[in-house]
Amino acid sequence: MPPTETAARPSARQIAYVRIRDDIIRGRFAPGALLSENELAAALGISRQPVREALLLIAQEGLVEVRPQSGTYVTRIDPDRVREAQFIREAIELASLAASEPLAGQGERMLRASIRRQRRARDREAFYPLDEEFHRALLGLAGHANAWSAVSAAKGHLDRARYVGMSATRGVQDYVDDHERVVDALAAGERDAAISALGEHLRFVFADLDAVRAQHPELFEGAAPAARTGRAARR
């Protein structure tokens, strides 16, 4: 479970958790990479203890494996965990959308503004945080924005597959088209159509996963844990 976010200044553990997890999800630390607590602490400008605590939290999500007397290694993408996380995410997001009020006023303006920001994204690096923002905003329509933390805690492997897959079978703007279809249906009062469009959008990850496995089998089957944190450990 990720550390609780507060309005106060984030703790060193929170900073380490977010940065290291994000580097794993975005492939900056490759599968099999050996993560050095000393090097991570130096890069983040903090002590080793919060880095160690953050790695233990990340290990609970299955993104790293702590091997006694050996070290902490980035795991490969686990298709079973991807499927489990997709089930959880889809159940929560579709149920929330079904319980939402008709879209109008400030809610519609917020989602349209999000889509305009997404239209300016030209690559997955720029699009990924906007995609996360949009889906959290959809949960907020029914007052379920806090459920995003539960979704996030379950979807580490899913996020890795999504991030790599964003350039595997579709362009970034294809995903934005999906988002706009959901918003258009909600604005037209067609909730069932919106739910159907969102479900189809979320399930594209499975086609992406197959494409990624074919193009990059090393993300799933490969690499011996030889690389260390730093330039050699990043993709």
7 lies in some domain: no
Lowest mean pLDDT among 26-30, 103-107, 131-135, 216-220: 216-220
Give the number of domains in the chain. 2
- Provide mean pLDDT across the span 131-142: 93
Q: Which of 7, 32, 4, 30 is nearest to 18 (CA)?
A: 4
Average per-residue pLDDT for the chain:
85
- pLDDT, position 167: 62
Q: Which residues of 94-115 are buried (b: 16+ CB within 10 A; e: fewer)?
A: bebbeebeebeeebeeebeebb
Q: Where are the beta strands (DSSP E) in the chain?
A: 34-35, 64-67, 71-74
Structure token digits, residue 77 = 């993408």
- pLDDT, position 225: 42
Structure token digits, residue 134 = 């949009």
The 3-state secondary structure of 27-64, one letter per residue = CCCCCCCEECHHHHHHHHCCCHHHHHHHHHHHHHCCCE
41 lies in some domain: yes
How far apart are alpha carbons 132 and 37 in whole angstroms?
28
Angle formed at CA 176 by CA 174 and CA 181, multiple of 5 degrees: 95
Query: Which domain range does residue 113 map to?
Result: 79-215
User: Which of the two residues, 224 and 173, has the higher pLDDT score?
Assistant: 173
How far apart are alpha carbons 115 and 214 in whole angstroms?
31
Are both 48 and 121 inside the same structural domain?
Answer: no
* Cβ neighbours of residue 233 closer than 8 Å, sequence gap 6 or more: 29, 30, 33, 34, 35, 74, 227
Report pLDDT digits (tens) over 155-201. Answer: 888 888 778 777 667 788 999 999 999 999 999 999 999 999 999 99
How far apart are alpha carbons 4 and 197 in whole angstroms?
32
pTM of model > 0.85 = no
Are both 206 and 225 inside the same structural domain?
Answer: no
* HSE of 27, CA atoms in CB hemisphere, 13 A: 18
Dihedral sign, Cα of residue 221, residue 160, residue 202, residue 128: negative
Taking the mean position of all CA atoms in its chain, how far away is CA 100? Answer: 23
* Cβ neighbours of residue 106 closer than 8 Å, sequence gap 6 or more: none
Share of the chain above pLDDT 90, in %: 52
CATH code for the domain in which residue 18 is found? 1.10.10.10
State yes or no: pLDDT of 59 exceeds 90.
yes
Are both 71 and 101 inside the same structural domain?
Answer: no
User: Which of the two residues, 222 and 153, has the higher pLDDT score?
Assistant: 153
Are both 61 and 100 inside the same structural domain?
Answer: no
CATH code for the domain in which residue 173 is found? 1.20.120.530
Are both 111 and 98 inside the same structural domain?
Answer: yes
- Provide mean pLDDT across the span 118-143: 92
DSSP label at 120?
A: T
